[in-house]
Amino acid sequence: MSLERVMPVGLDNTSDDPSGRQALIVNNNTYESITEKVCGVVEDPRIDKRWLAMFIVALGGLGMLFSLIVYLIATGVGVWGNNMPVAWGWPIVNFVFWVGIGHAGTLISAILFLLRQDWRTSINRFAEAMTIFAVVCAGTFPGIHVGRIWLAYWLFPIPNQMLMWPNFRSPLLWDVFAVSTYASVSTVFWYMGMIPDIATIRDRAKHPLRRLAYGVLALGWRQNARAWHRYEKAYGILAGLATPLVLSVHTIVSFDFAVSQLPGWHTTIFPPYFVAGAIFSGFAMVVTLAVPARAMYGMKDIITMRHLENMNKVILATGMMVGYAYAMEFFIAWYGGNRYEQFAFINRATGPYFWAYWIMVSCNVLSPQVFWFKKARTSIPIMMVVAILVNIGMWFERFVITVTSLSRDFMPSSWGYFKPTLVDIGMLVGSFGLFFTLFLLFLRFLPMIAMAEVKTVMNRPKQEESAERPEMAASLN
């Protein structure tokens, strides 16, 4: 234990000192103070005005999304701007956008867990929540994008009176399995990780109704060694399963495009490029959400600047991967010598959608470059601006891939121009309403920080140390 020197506890934990390890939780927090802080948010009987205002706005967006879906089903998919060359418009763009957002949560909770990155503990809970809510938004779009929504169950291999089965060669069918598996595994992962924390809330609950609700959710969790032993094993296995899952799910989403023959879509770089983009956009969304949440709920000493800085480093790294992929697509278009592919990429950069392409490049490739500087990585305003730009840029990436490739392909006689309708726009805005409704409910009713996990990476508070192990405390002095 004494081999690792722990750096003195201060407020700035962003400096890297090779002689020791920086504290991840600052400001002299104890086990009790962590519990008080995190549970306090859930237990506060008053309704925060800012929360309520945001919740009402989010509900409004959700209501708009639902009414537009009803309108869509009653009227037909022609209410969108999709036309014949561009039959995949915003719904699929939004689908890929939201699925991508959803990948950072699993990356943080699973891959960083396998890599033993302790800094994940402060952010993994709400990153996972973000995953699930983003997947809910994502799942909505392919569901309503089909013209006959009431036959969508034909996508599932159910024995039926027609003796018909889905065609297992379509990546859109793989999407069904990928997204539904991803949604269920992330939900189980998230819920399992939350059980000890829910048990804490249950044990602190005073009102019998709260005790019952959190008691049911906690599944009778007791803090015994056998349960923890099994919990840790199960958590590790789930992390090991979720890691290939997160990579394969977005790979399958990329197959929707890469498996087709369309110039601009038929590219073997898509699977890793999409996954990198998903991590990129997902982390940007985590930063976008973490910064206001930590300020609003006084979690600045649990989600510290070091956490944000680490996320910004991931954004920088994956942003570079995405930039590499953009460059490689152009290189291969030139190198491959296929006229259609060459045209597809020249069309992206200089065609009728040039503005979308350059928004994408400047947001995704240029804006994260400021993170080379520590001043930018640790500045709240700068990281918020960059994170939001990245979210915008990654939406445009999907728009550029989907729409520019479709609007001008092999035959000039079938070139078109895609214009979104108000329904398209309303549904994108409404999907944010759905996302934030769920996310705000989560912040209010569930522990937003994995208390049990954070406590394992804290500096052992001094007073406990000396009380439990006087001889150890003496040797340290």
What mask of x and - would describe binding to another protein in positions 51 to 90, judged by CB under 8 A?
Answer: ----------------------------------------
Q: How far apart are CA 126 and CA 102, in angstroms?
A: 11
203 binds another protein (CB under 8 A): yes
Residue 163 CB, nearest distance to another protein (Å)?
4
Q: Indicate the residue among 59 and 213 with the shorter CB distance to another protein.
A: 213
162 binds another protein (CB under 8 A): yes
Q: Indicate the residue among 57 and 213 with the shorter CB distance to another protein.
A: 213
Q: How far apart are CA 341 and CA 405, in angstroms?
A: 10
Residue 462 CB, nearest distance to another protein (Å)?
32
Q: How far apart are CA 23 and CA 9, in angstroms?
A: 6
Residue 447 CB, nearest distance to another protein (Å)?
17
Q: Indicate the residue among 161 and 477 with the shorter CB distance to another protein.
A: 161
Tokens coding 104: 């950072």
Residue 191 CB, nearest distance to another protein (Å)?
17
Q: How far apart are CA 223 and CA 196, in angstroms?
A: 8
158 binds another protein (CB under 8 A): no
Among 164, 234, 237, 467, binds another protein (CB under 8 A): 164
Among 160, 184, 223, 463, binds another protein (CB under 8 A): 160
Q: How far apart are CA 336 and CA 227, in angstroms?
A: 57
386-391: list long-range contacts, CB under 8 Å, 24+ apart. 386/284, 386/312, 386/315, 387/284, 387/285, 387/287, 387/288, 387/291, 387/315, 388/284, 388/288, 389/363, 390/280, 390/281, 390/284, 390/315, 390/319, 390/363, 390/364, 391/101, 391/281, 391/284, 391/285, 391/288
Q: Indicate the residue among 199 and 286 with the shorter CB distance to another protein.
A: 199
Q: Indicate the residue among 98 and 214 with the shorter CB distance to another protein.
A: 214
Q: 12 near 304, Cβ under 8 Å?
A: no
204 binds another protein (CB under 8 A): no
Q: Indicate the residue among 52 and 219 with the shorter CB distance to another protein.
A: 219
Q: 405 near 344, Cβ under 8 Å?
A: yes
In the region spanning residues 205 to 224, those forming contacts with another protein, defined by CB under 8 A, are 211-212, 214-216, 218-220
Residue 214 CB, nearest distance to another protein (Å)?
8
Q: How far apart are CA 440 and CA 446, in angstroms?
A: 10
Residue 155 CB, nearest distance to another protein (Å)?
17
In the region spanning residues 8 to 37, those forming contacts with another protein, defined by CB under 8 A, are none
- Looking up tokens 């309520």 gives 52
Residue 459 CB, nearest distance to another protein (Å)?
31
Residue 243 CB, nearest distance to another protein (Å)?
30
268 binds another protein (CB under 8 A): no
Q: Indicate the residue among 163 and 474 with the shorter CB distance to another protein.
A: 163
Count of residues touching another protein (by CB under 8 A): 15
Among 163, 225, 411, 474, binds another protein (CB under 8 A): 163
Q: Indicate the residue among 128 and 197 with the shorter CB distance to another protein.
A: 197
One-letter amino acid for residue 280 of the chain: F
202 binds another protein (CB under 8 A): yes
Q: Indicate the residue among 219 and 346 with the shorter CB distance to another protein.
A: 219
Residue 204 CB, nearest distance to another protein (Å)?
11
Residue 213 CB, nearest distance to another protein (Å)?
9
Residue 205 CB, nearest distance to another protein (Å)?
9
Q: Indicate the residue among 43 and 48 with the shorter CB distance to another protein.
A: 43
Q: Indicate the residue among 100 and 215 with the shorter CB distance to another protein.
A: 215
Residues that bind another protein (CB under 8 A): 160-164, 202-203, 211-212, 214-216, 218-220
